[in-house]
Amino acid sequence: MKAADIMSTKVVTINGRETIDRAAEVMKQHHLRGLIVERDSEDDAYGIITTTDIATAVANDRDPAKT
């Protein structure tokens, strides 16, 4: 089996400067548990933010509206 056989083809991205509050809104809107974080430049790697990342940030007293 290849990764392509089970991967999601519905990819939604978010700008890395957005808050985790906004990331959670986008995930809810699209019924997703993760988003690809866009690169700031061609030298940057893509990132991923997941619901687990958001839960961890909130559990560590990070303000979702400012983080």
Q: What pLDDT was estimated at residue 9? A: 80
Closest Cα partner for 49 from 9, 41, 64, 61? 64
Q: What pLDDT was estimated at residue 10? A: 81
Q: What pLDDT was estimated at residue 29? A: 97
Model confidence pLDDT, tens digit, residues 8-57: 788 899 999 999 999 999 999 999 999 999 998 899 888 999 999 999 99
Helix (H), strand (E) at residue 26: helix 20-30
Could you tell me the residue ranges of all domains in the chain? 1-40
Q: What pLDDT was estimated at residue 47? A: 94
pTM (predicted TM-score): 0.82
